[in-house]
Amino acid sequence: MIKEYFLNYKAHTSSFTIDIADNLIQYHSQFDEKWKITLLETGTHSMTGGRLKAALEFSQEDCFYFTYGDGLSDVDINLLKEFHSEGSQQVTMTAVQPPGRFGSLVWSEKDPNGIINFREKPKGDGAWVNGGFFILQREVLSSLEDYSCVWEGAPLNHFASTDQLKAFKHDGFWYPMDTLRDKLYLNELWKSARCPWRIWQ
């Protein structure tokens, strides 16, 4: 579906008239992005590290951005790049605190059944997790063996143990889209005025 969309990008984004008799298409309006997009076919069994390896083989850049694409955030990419550039690490990971799923109760010290405060869906247990937005140096390619390689396994552990992995802490909005519930919630945010990741008009 993604391939079909980009192969027929003008048809998807423009008004047009089709002259069936002469097999002609006249576009009345169009919105052309100045993009060059490479769509890689890595197979259904490739893992995250394998897909990253395939992408790196199509790029000659020394430093590049990498994301899974299943999370939404208002992370400041310029600050992330600045943080990465100030260090000598090969990998910068954006660290986030996932939102809590349920409200939190604060119990009374005087009454074991009394509640003195209720916080609606605070951030989780205080732990920081991989937010899925990276900046990588090209040297990481040597740590990706083949398409079965899992990026979050041996490669990231290797970079962590050799002091080549640093965390950029993002305190702003971050939300995963792993379930139908997540999708419905994010769709509601998109339709509302409370859409933190929409920084364009």
Record the pTM. Answer: 0.79
Query: Which tens digit of pLDDT belongs to each residue from 23-58?
Result: 999 988 777 788 888 999 998 999 999 999 999 888
Give the whole-angstrom CA distance, residue 153 versus residue 188: 34
Angle at 173 between CA 155 and CA 66, to 5 degrees: 30
The CA distance from 7 to 16, in Å, is 16
Percent of the chain's residues with pLDDT above 70:
93
Higher pLDDT pick, 102 / 55:
55
Confidence of residue 18 (pLDDT cuts 50, 70, 90): very high
Distance separating alpha carbons of residues 154 and 129, to the nearest angstrom: 17
Chain segment 69-78, per-residue pLDDT in tens: 899 999 999 9
* Beta strand spans in the chain (E): 15-19, 24-29, 63-67, 71-73, 91-96, 104-107, 115-119, 129-137, 165-169, 174-176
Higher pLDDT, 140 or 120: 140
Alpha helices in the chain (DSSP H): 2-7, 9-13, 48-56, 77-86, 154-161, 180-191
Domains in the chain: ranges and CATH:
40-191 (3.90.550.10)
